Structure 1
């Protein structure tokens, strides 16, 4: 099992951060994705990375401006993601994003440390998110 958590404070209010993070139709700000397919009911979506890999997601919880959680699966892993959102005293947003992955086999478990650097991917996501928020606020 792999687990990685990233914590950040953003200057945008929770409502704005929430809207960006949960809008799977608008992905131009994500440097790691080429496209996303969203189910008609909006509870499932599949992300396609720039290198062609796909990951399917099913929303588990969506408590506006507080908690967003989903399960995920690909051909090499399954897991869960949780995002916690809270307002800072200055009106910004404190976020805690946690990703837990279970690799499909021991070979992928070992290779994942080299091919799937979770912390690096989380940092890139936060950088992309900050850039997107700068265009909104």
Structure 2
């Protein structure tokens, strides 16, 4: 298993950040996703990455402007995502993303560990999110 934690300070109000992160129907701001298909609205969905890999997500905990958690799996891995939201003193938002992943093969685990793929994905996500929030 591999765990990656990334904390980002965002200048936007917590409600704006929450809405952007949890509105899976509005995914066009994400540079890594080409499509989202809902299995059960509000509970589970499939993200199709631009590389063609489909990942199923199952929302396990959703507390408005506090916590957003999901279990996920695809052909290469399975894991758990947790987004924690905190209002900062300045009125912005501290977003902490924690992902724990179990790879389905040793080769994939080695490749991800060597390249820092999980951390890179998180940084890309935050970069896309900042770009979206800057437009608001």
TM norm structure 2: 0.95
Task: Give how far 1:114 is off.
Answer: 5.1
Q: CA RMSD in A?
A: 1.3
Instruction: Determine the structure 2 residue equivalent to 1:33.
Output: 33
Cross-structure match for 2:67:
67
Secondary structure at 1:128 match in 2 = helix
TM, length-normalised to structure 1:
0.94
| 2:120 partner SS | helix
Q: State how many pairs are aligned.
A: 136
Specify the alignment match of 1:101 in structure 2: 101
The aligned counterpart of 1:24 is 24
**2:40 is equivalent to residue 43 of structure 1:** no
Cα offset for 1:104?
1.2
Large movers: runs of 4+ above 6 Å: none
Structure 2 gaps of 5+ residues are none
1:108 CA displacement: 2.3
Q: 1:116 & 1:48 partners in 2: Cα distance?
A: 21
Question: Using the alignment, how far apart are the partners of 1:110 and 1:121 within structure 2?
Answer: 16
Q: CA deviation at 1:65?
A: 0.1
Aligned twin of 1:131: 131
Please give the secondary structure, in 2, of the residue aligned with 1:96. Answer: strand
TM-aligned CA deviation for residue 38 of structure 1? 1.4
